[in-house]
Amino acid sequence: MPSSPANQNTELIVYEITLKNGEVHHFEVDVTRNQSGPNPRKGGAEWTQLDYRQCANCPLSKQEHTYCPVAVDIEEVAERFKNILSFEVADVRVVTEARNYQKKCDIQSGLKSLLGLIMASSSCPTLSEFKPMAIYHLPFATVEETIYRVTGAYLLKQYFLNKEGTKPDLELIGLEKFYKDLQQVNKDFMKRIRAASQSDANLNAINILLSLSSVVALTLDDRLEDIKPLFFEGHSEA
């Protein structure tokens, strides 16, 4: 699993997925790992190579990056669950430094949460925008929680940019563009996962992430309007 050398500071989030047959899968994700530079780690399967169905909007070049950083990061997870059906029920336990989470759910929901964390903390130039959210990971987040957290994180970044003298994007134009780019990444990444899967758990987990990015991209304004009254409760303008 993605991790940093032992002599570096790490922040691990642990996922423990227990299948109905008692089989336990343990994953440790270092969300602060640094994989800068070309080819920091090597994949094993053909589908981890950068030019294997490379995302249409990927800015990386094969000359400098032999492997897709996200594919390398999720290879172990994809391999372990390639024969698992998405609707099988599992107990998923998530351990962070601050607290633990536990949920009995179908495997695709547990994998969606785990893969989302790994992808968000990867060195993919697009997905790395999610790095702050990965560090403050919320397992099993709903669509509403995701929109609240994504928008809040984006506006906090604009606050810091404003402090540095850069005009902030308070209209969320950049966030809408980012989610359109994210849709493309998830759509193309599905093609890689198909090569790594014999059953549908991996595929459906990525498909849920794709659906979530589509929902945010297409309905962001409407969803934010739904949240707006929470900030003006008891006020006349609400």
- Domain presence at residue 164: yes
Burial class (CB in 10 A: 0-12, 13-18, 19+), 100: exposed
Long-range contacts of residues 45-51, Cβ cutoff 8 Å, at least 24 apart = 45/75, 45/79, 45/195, 45/196, 46/195, 47/71, 47/192, 47/195, 47/196, 48/72, 48/75, 48/192
Contact 175, 158 (CB under 8 A): no
Per the CB < 8 A criterion, the answer to whether 71 and 77 are in contact is no
Which single residue is written with the structure tokens 């014999």? 198
Residue entry with tokens 């498909």: 207
Residue 124: inside a domain, yes or no?
yes
Which pLDDT score is estimated for 91? Answer: 96
**Structural domains in the chain (count):** 1
In a domain, 4, yes or no: no
Report the C-alpha gap between 50 and 87 in whole angstroms. 31
Residue 115 placed within a domain: yes
List Cβ neighbours of 186 (8 Å cut-off, separation of 6 or more): 206, 209, 210, 213
Residue 52 lies in a domain: yes
Residues sharing a CB contact under 8 Å with residue 21, sequence separation 6 or more, in sequence order: none
Q: What is the pTM of this model?
A: 0.84
Q: Which pLDDT value is given to residue 170?
A: 94
Angle at 119 between CA 13 and CA 113, to 5 degrees: 60
237 within domain boundaries: no
- DSSP state, residue 199: S
Per-residue pLDDT tens digits of the chain, which is 238 residues long = 665 444 455 689 999 999 999 999 999 999 988 755 444 455 578 889 999 989 999 999 988 889 999 989 988 888 888 788 788 899 999 999 999 999 999 888 898 899 889 989 999 998 888 899 999 999 999 888 989 999 999 999 999 999 999 999 999 999 988 888 888 888 888 888 777 676 666 667 777 776 667 767 777 888 889 989 988 876 544 4
What 3-state class would DSSP assign to 95? strand
In a domain, 55, yes or no: yes
Query: 37: left (phi > 0), else alpha (psi -120 to 50), else beta?
Result: left
User: Which residue range is the domain that position 24 belongs to?
Assistant: 12-231
